[in-house]
Structure 1
Amino acid sequence: MTDSQVDCVIVGGGLAGGLIALALQRARPEFRIRLIEAGRTIGGNHRWSWFDSDLDEAGHKLLEGFRQTEWDNGYEVRFPKYRRNLKTSYRSLASPDFHEGIVRELPEGSVILGRKAVSLDSRGVDLAASKYQPAERINARSVIDCRSFTPSKHLKGGWQVFLGRHMRLDKPHGVERPVIMDATVDQLAPHGNGSSYRFVYVLPLGVHDVFIEDTYYADDPLLDRSALSGRIDQYARANGWQDGLPVHHEAGVLPVLTGGDFAAYQDEVRIPGVAIAGARGGFTHPLTSYTMCVAVENALAIAEHADLSGEQLAAFFDARAKAHWKKTGYYRLLARFLFFAAKPEKRVKVFQRFYGLREGLIERFYAARSNAFDKVRVLWGEPPVAIHSAIAAMFKSGPALRSKKSDRGVSEAAQANELQKETQA
């Protein structure tokens, strides 16, 4: 076994881990950083999107080195009762561009790919031996755990399941702006096990390139790739996009949190003296699973407190996670309304009503920054669910977020995590 000594080692090269490494490198270029990823690339196989208003000036600056797709003409939503164009600028970042940006900015030798961390502690990380390398111990002043979220009996809720396909068409697709929610599609659950809220997400990546993602909120984490792929085919045909070639696919199963014992969850995943960031640390939007906003904020916070010892940094992020959980309690309440108050086939009404509200309220909602008026306004007026059902839902927490087994005996949620290496969203 070989040993090495660094200032900070980050385990998990998803969105959270990559941005932390980047922020640390820019703030403290003299630091010796190691970013460890078990997969072959940083960011896995994923696309992250966000509203321009989600980030402040420092956040925009952190991301400015990455190649992004930008839409300054706003975005569109579609529901059975209306279509609406909203003016907020929208951004998207693909994992290959994320990988390229991270590898370009970090010093040579800082990124370690294809190596699995077999153990973490407050003083470093042990890497398993690979075909060409022996087992290795990396000693570090601080260790940050950014590995993927894993289901837990201490967290309650449902699931957001999706399959996306990037297509290159023979002719222009004609889409001018992102369609972040097309809920005019059939609401029957793709895997045929009951109903759920389903929508299609469309990004015009170029004149001939379009990204189509079939997404649904469901009570279980079953990801039926065949059924979802067929639905994407159907959607493409309906829009005249059948003559094209697939460029790549991505899939995911993300938790939608309705409640739970967060302190018990922290005890379950905590390693003494190791800071936990990313979705594993609870840093996600409970209802939308968006992660970009909080991932950027956490990366900048770690860079600002880079001189803390490993134990101090772990305590800092432990408290930060508790504060995030408390701050996002309102969104877990709304998730309970969605899953427990609305009948599955009627869940579309919840989102249909929400997207009829003011644009600024919608922006703040996705960034988990809803003010007091926003929170009242979302609940005020003609409710999309029965009052008695909503009251009952307030006191439910839902089933534990445990992976269910597919027909082949493999957890679909675990498969998706391996594909993405980062759950958000």
Structure 2
Amino acid sequence: MHANTCDLAILGGGLSGGIVALALAARRQNLRIMVIEREDRLGGDHVWSFFESDIPAAGLPLLEPVIAARWNGYSVHFPGHSRSLATPYCSVTSDRLDAAVRAALPPDCVLNGTQVIEATPTSVTLGDGRTIAAGGVIDARGITGMPHMAGGWQKFMGQSLRLSAPHGLERPVVMDARVEQLDGYRFVYCLPFTETDIFVEDTYYADSPDLDRPVLRRRIADYAAQQSWQVEAVSYEETGVLPVIAAGDFNAYWQQGAGGPARAGARAALVHPLTSYSLPDAVRFALHLTSLDNLSGAGLEGASHAWAADHWRRGRFYRMLSRMLFGAAAPEARWRVLERFYRLPAPLIERFYAGRSTIPDRVRILAGKPPVPIGSAIATLAGGGRPLADLGLEKGHEE
């Protein structure tokens, strides 16, 4: 096959694009797959994490090469409640993703530092003037907003800290909400990679996507000092602004890219509406693609639309919870919603994060005295409550 032709071109070498490439390279070895990424390496500078219960059994071997750390459980902390859960927790890093995709594909099939000028279902025009002719194209590039969607934002800054002495954590702290509540629901997230290397992320469920990096750096430093950690160096830093989807018009959103290639990741709205996590859905969609007989441009576009539309329908319950969080809870009191949630049974929590809540789970989540004012809850469900942010007008996602 000619260097400028392939069976499948994947636009974007971030999490979703990388996982699609790994899945197809492993299960459809007869295909020539190309990954086109504008940055110098795949995945950027990111840490992505997931609960093992989020991932279908067939997907765990696919992720094994990109997992940088695995822990047998995690902890959460709230002002009046702490809990440890036994669900295995894993983290994926950009370095691992970059290495795994390069190992899976021929060197000439990973195009870094390459800008995409135009994409159709069967071709890609690059910034250097080349045109890639493809049997099919999947657009997995990050997006800067989600038109026709409303809700709020999960935004964060994470730093990898090297300490002069052991931090003392044996498992991740997925939520530490004992910190001062600022700019919505605030919590700190900690991943202990080694005894003296820890990733600390300051996270907010906020009404605005604005990030004040100097302020967030100071807050991370303050948190480390409160734990009596002596920081020798900050190895790297990342930031993100993710959409929390509370409402929207999926058909109008999809129509924005009508006539273009198939879509994956956030571009296809394949994210958990409340947690904003995309890794579990990226794995499920990638496995689905490996089962398709028709990988033509039109076939892929139709398959991605059908998959995304079904995901949207199944996310209705989680969008309702997002409306309650942003529309009914006062920003400084949003932590109470999560504290109540973390008093529920562990299997229910696992199914919630996996986007697989059963009808009894949903009843249990909604039963009892709500952690928000009843009047505000009723008003929000009726279309009132606090106004939701327009996710199409702000900076909405960093892949």
Q: Normalising by structure 2, what TM-score?
A: 0.96
Q: Does 1:294 align with 2:299?
A: no
Aligned to 1:249: 237
Aligned to 1:408: none
Q: Is the 8 A contact 2:151 2:391 kept in 1?
A: yes
Aligned to 2:367: 380
2:360 alignment partner AA: F
Aligned to 2:44: 44
SS at match of 1:250: strand
- Deviation string for 1:324-350 (max 9, x for gaps)? 001001101000000111111111100
2:339 alignment partner AA: Q
In the TM superposition, residue 105 of structure 1 has moved relative to its aligned partner by 1.6
Of residues 343, 363, 371, the one that matches 2:350 is 363
Following the alignment from structure 1 to structure 2, what is the Cα–Cα distance between the partners of residues 120 and 41?
21
Following the alignment from structure 1 to structure 2, what is the Cα–Cα distance between the partners of residues 306 and 100?
29
- Deviation string for 1:73-128 (max 9, x for gaps)? x1000000111011111000111111111111212211110001110012210000
When the two structures are aligned, how many residues end up with a matched partner? 395
Following the alignment from structure 2 to structure 1, what is the Cα–Cα distance between the partners of residues 112 and 80?
48
Of residues 177, 181, 186, the one that matches 1:183 is 177
SS at match of 1:300: helix
Aligned to 1:234: 222
Following the alignment from structure 1 to structure 2, what is the Cα–Cα distance between the partners of residues 80 and 36?
46
Following the alignment from structure 2 to structure 1, what is the Cα–Cα distance between the partners of residues 172 and 25?
33
SS at match of 1:269: coil
Q: Is the 8 A contact 1:3 1:139 kept in 2?
A: no
In the TM superposition, residue 312 of structure 1 has moved relative to its aligned partner by 1.4
Q: Does 1:341 align with 2:356?
A: no
Aligned to 1:19: 19
Change (3 A) 1:367 1:67: closer
SS at match of 2:66: coil
2:131 alignment partner AA: R
Aligned to 1:98: 97
SS at match of 2:182: coil
Aligned to 1:212: 200
Give structure 1 stretches of 5+ with no counterpart. Answer: 130-134, 190-195, 405-412
2:390 alignment partner AA: A
- Deviation string for 1:162-221 (max 9, x for gaps)? 0000011111110111000000000022xxxxxx10000001010110110000011111
Q: Is the 8 A contact 1:161 1:218 kept in 2?
A: yes
Of residues 245, 253, 265, the one that matches 1:278 is 265
Aligned to 1:80: 79
Aligned to 1:319: 306
SS at match of 1:160: strand
SS at match of 1:43: coil
Q: How does 1:131-150 map to 2 (within 5 A)?
A: 135-150=129-144
Aligned to 2:253: 265
1:363 alignment partner AA: E
Following the alignment from structure 1 to structure 2, what is the Cα–Cα distance between the partners of residues 113 and 395?
48
Q: Is the 8 A contact 2:208 2:389 kept in 1?
A: no
2:179 alignment partner AA: V
In the TM superposition, residue 403 of structure 1 has moved relative to its aligned partner by 4.4
Aligned to 2:31: 31
Q: Is the 8 A contact 1:37 1:116 kept in 2?
A: yes
Following the alignment from structure 1 to structure 2, what is the Cα–Cα distance between the partners of residues 308 and 254?
30
2:389 alignment partner AA: P
Following the alignment from structure 1 to structure 2, what is the Cα–Cα distance between the partners of residues 306 and 95?
31
Q: Is the 8 A contact 1:150 1:280 kept in 2?
A: no
- Percent identity over the alignment is 45
1:23 alignment partner AA: A
- Deviation string for 1:259-310 (max 9, x for gaps)? 01110010013334x2111111010001101111110011111111154321
Following the alignment from structure 2 to structure 1, what is the Cα–Cα distance between the partners of residues 253 and 277?
20
- Deviation string for 1:115-167 (max 9, x for gaps)? 011100122100002xxxxx110000101010112313411111111000001
Following the alignment from structure 2 to structure 1, what is the Cα–Cα distance between the partners of residues 308 and 56?
21
SS at match of 1:200: strand
1:251 alignment partner AA: T
Following the alignment from structure 1 to structure 2, what is the Cα–Cα distance between the partners of residues 65 and 181?
27
Following the alignment from structure 2 to structure 1, what is the Cα–Cα distance between the partners of residues 82 and 283?
32
Q: Is the 8 A contact 1:78 1:184 kept in 2?
A: yes
Following the alignment from structure 1 to structure 2, what is the Cα–Cα distance between the partners of residues 311 and 126?
18
Q: Is the 8 A contact 2:157 2:213 kept in 1?
A: yes
Aligned to 2:150: 156
Q: Is the 8 A contact 2:135 2:295 kept in 1?
A: no
SS at match of 2:30: coil
Following the alignment from structure 1 to structure 2, what is the Cα–Cα distance between the partners of residues 373 and 68?
35
Aligned to 1:407: none
Aligned to 2:209: 221
Following the alignment from structure 1 to structure 2, what is the Cα–Cα distance between the partners of residues 39 and 246?
23
Aligned to 1:170: 164
SS at match of 1:222: coil
Aligned to 1:57: 57
Change (3 A) 1:3 1:98: closer
- Deviation string for 1:351-383 (max 9, x for gaps)? 010001000111111110000011110110121
Q: Does 1:198 align with 2:197?
A: no
Following the alignment from structure 2 to structure 1, what is the Cα–Cα distance between the partners of residues 44 and 186?
25
Q: Is the 8 A contact 1:166 1:212 kept in 2?
A: yes
Q: Is the 8 A contact 1:270 1:276 kept in 2?
A: no
